[in-house]
Amino acid sequence: MGSAGRLLAVQLLLLLVHPSAGFWIMNVVFPPNSRVKETSNNNTSPLIIVPGSLGNRLEAKIDKPALVHWMCFKKSDHWFPIWIDLNMFMPIGVDCWIDNIRLVYNKTTRRSSNSPGVQVRVPGFGETYTIEFLDYNNLAGYFHSMVEHLVNVGYVRNETVRGAPYDWRLAPNENSEYFIRLQELVEEMYNQYQKPVYLLGHSMGGHYVLYFLNNQPQAWKDTYIRGFISLGAPWGGAVKVLRVMTSGNNDGIPMLSNIKLREEQRMMTTNPWMLPSEDAWPKDHVFISTPSVNYTNQDYKRLFTDIDFENGWHMWEDTKNLTGALHPPGVEVWCMYGVGLPTPVTHIYDEDFPNADPVDYVYADGDDTVDSFSMSLCKRWEGQQEKPVHVTEYRGLAHLDMVFHEKVLHQIQQILEGKSDVPKEIDVRLD
């Protein structure tokens, strides 16, 4: 594919990947004139950003024993991008891509490994480029707007604002080295700037931060951590994950079939980890409804059997306790999330279950991806820890827009500048 073709493919992806993608691409390709504050503040605490699932680049190097298709590459001399890899938008390329990025789960050792002959690495730990843009042409912007905003108020990329990318195919139980590196990064920044550090997590990144904090001694947190800013974290799990594992989800990209992507989506142990948790949801809430069975969170074993994905059950058993009990983080928390948008909480299938998309949905309030019940569970920490817990609901704000919206960026800036008090609700539809 020529570079013009690549450009087109990425733009197409951006336009279609998300209902609000028009807003997204405008921000990325034509960044709004950031409103630079008159006095740049050079006295703010350092910040580490932990992205959500699919939220940082991954690179691979291959020397494969076998190919799924003769057109796939067998061997690479260099590390090349597999996320985002534009081959995933080509008819045969998608098969090559899935065979490179997939994980193999061993239910005896309860461990995942890369596809045979494939090495995967996470570039850019401690820097920001890999979370600012997901592709090498800097078109698929993710944290770029936020980092740009912070730079305008005095932050310095790779110094006072850094990214902590990770292999988001794996849950924390298989990423133990990551947490050591994160701890070292916090200590390094603390020593360098003589100030405790803020951690910011988006979506599943919030669970990664919570797991990290739950496993640090209180004295360490009191010294090194100034606070935890959580954006749109599905604290009680995400109903959407059930749909993703059952029939796949291409997030609206028309070139990719849901069923095809399901192969890849079933390999990630992070998906079972994010299932609606047993503690949080009523035992009789139906998440998946078919003509013959209504599945609640008491029926996951049966569901995994019925969708022919038995390893998913083992992955869920391995991961459900990692953050499932929602132990308080033990640091000051700002929990922000979108509300006021219809969000599916039950997926209704016809006889073609599980090999076709749902035919209907039951909706509840949320941010169009995660329901607000799940995201609001951070409120329970208020009585469970000494440090303050601040909750802000953004009315009308969609899940992905959380990392772009001017009102969110402004609020984050205020927090970083030490203004802890935040409004309980902000309506993004009003100006």
Ligand X SMILES: *[C@@H]1O[C@H](CO)[C@@H](O)[C@H](O)[C@H]1NC(C)=O
Which residues carry out catalysis? 203, 367, 399
Q: Which residues from 297-356 bind ligand X, rule CB under 6 A?
A: 317, 321
Residue of 26, 92, 156, 359 interacting with ligand X (CB under 6 A): 156
86 closest CA partner among 196, 2, 6, 173: 6
Q: Report the C-alpha gap between 177 and 203 in whole angstroms.
A: 21
Residue of 77, 176, 292, 383 interacting with ligand X (CB under 6 A): 292
Q: Tell me how crowded residue 154 is: count the other CB atoms within 10 A of its CB.
A: 18
Beta bridge partners of 114: 103
Q: How far is CA 162 from CA 197, 255, 260, in A?
A: 11, 34, 35
**Residue 305 half-sphere exposure toward CB, CA atoms < 13 A:** 6
| CA quadruple 399, 403, 408, 411: dihedral sign | positive
Q: Report the C-alpha gap between 270 and 171 in whole angstroms.
A: 5
DSSP 380: G
Residue of 286, 322, 364, 428 interacting with ligand X (CB under 6 A): 286
303 closest CA partner among 243, 373, 370: 243
155 closest CA partner among 195, 98, 115, 187: 195
- Contact between 159 and ligand X per CB under 6 A: yes
Query: Binders of ligand X: how many residues, by CB under 6 A?
Result: 18
28-36, 73-81, 106-114, 244-252 -> range binding ligand X (CB under 6 A)? 106-114
53 closest CA partner among 240, 257, 225, 228: 240
**What residues contact residue 378 under an 8 Å CB cut-off, 6+ apart?**
230, 233, 235, 326, 333, 335, 389, 391
CB of 427 to ligand X, least distance (A): 34
Residue of 31, 32, 42, 119 interacting with ligand X (CB under 6 A): 42
- Contact between 3 and ligand X per CB under 6 A: no
Q: Give me the phi and psi of 409, to 5 degrees please.
A: -60, -40
Residue of 11, 17, 114, 127 interacting with ligand X (CB under 6 A): 127
In the complex with ligand X, which residue's Cβ is closer, 281 or 394? 281
In the complex with ligand X, which residue's Cβ is closer, 105 or 381? 105
CB of 203 to ligand X, least distance (A): 24
79-87, 103-111, 208-216, 332-340 -> range binding ligand X (CB under 6 A)? 103-111
In the complex with ligand X, which residue's Cβ is closer, 108 or 191? 108
61-69, 140-148, 235-243, 288-296 -> range binding ligand X (CB under 6 A)? 288-296
104-112, 267-275, 326-334, 399-407 -> range binding ligand X (CB under 6 A)? 104-112
| C-alpha 382, offset from chain centre | 24
DSSP 112: E
- Contact between 278 and ligand X per CB under 6 A: no
- Contact between 249 and ligand X per CB under 6 A: no
Residues of this chain that interact with ligand X (CB under 6 A) are 42, 106, 108-109, 127, 129, 156-160, 286, 289, 292-294, 317, 321
